[in-house]
Amino acid sequence: MATPHVLVLRAPGANCDEEAAFAFELAGATVERIHVNAVRENPRKLQSAQILAVPGGFSYGDDVAAGKVLALQFRHFLSDALRQFRDDEKLILGICNGFQTLLKAGLLIPPDEDGPLATLGFNESGKFEDRWVHLQATPGRCPFLKGIDRLHVPVAHGEGNFVCRKEYIVRGLSQAGQVVLRYASADGRRGGYPVNPNGSQDDIAGVCDVTGRVLGLMPHPERHIFPTQHPQWTRHGLKPEGEGLQVFRNAVEFFKE
């Protein structure tokens, strides 16, 4: 397949769909922005794409909880279609509010008989965090992160605190290779706030499902696709491209191999 097709899902309040679409276009994909209601009416629309992106923003105003309403739509109306999409060896990416949605829909970590194993709660700082963070990557089987060791990208969220129901669940996710991104300092060390901007357990910034083909992350790689988007580009010199672009290029190249 020469040019994979991406569907970027729109929903009321999701305001990062254009940035996500542009990042995928820059990486070489064809992109269609589509409203969740259109997919609900005809789930077969997913069959036209190889990549589904659920972007950041504040879907449905985060009125119940961040990403919760959109997650309920996924669970009640699109569950079978989304799982089939993944099982067809296609890719799903959730960024920030999209991560919250995928996690609460059970697409990243399925619930057990007692309910969800993990969620994303309010930042421990008690405020909205809008800052640049360093990430340490352990890509494992996740195609989005192939060849990536470090990323420097911004976060912008109020509910990014990754919390598991039990401590052993965090260890199990790590051992299973599902913890693929952690907050770290510029020299790669783990630390508290503000290195970890939200208090996430085990400094978790992003997780994938057991297949590696569904990725959710709180930081915004689509906001660092040009080198001039970095706040210190004049001090450190102009690089060929922004560090976040490789995430989107990896997804595109997954279908060209």
Active site residues: 96, 220, 222
Q: Which residue has the tokens 């919760």?
A: 68
Q: CA-CA distance, 238 to 76, in Å (whole number)? A: 47
Q: CA-CA distance, 173 to 169, in Å (whole number)? A: 6
Task: Compute the half-sphere exposure of residue 190: CA atoms within 13 Å on the CB side of its CA.
Answer: 10
Residues 6+ apart with CB under 8 A from 171: none
Length of the chain: 257
CA dihedral 160, 249, 105, 18 (to 10 degrees): 80
Surface-to-core class of residue 63, CB atoms within 10 Å of its CB (0-12 exposed, 13-18 middle, 19+ buried): exposed
Tell me, what DSSP letter sits at residue 137? E
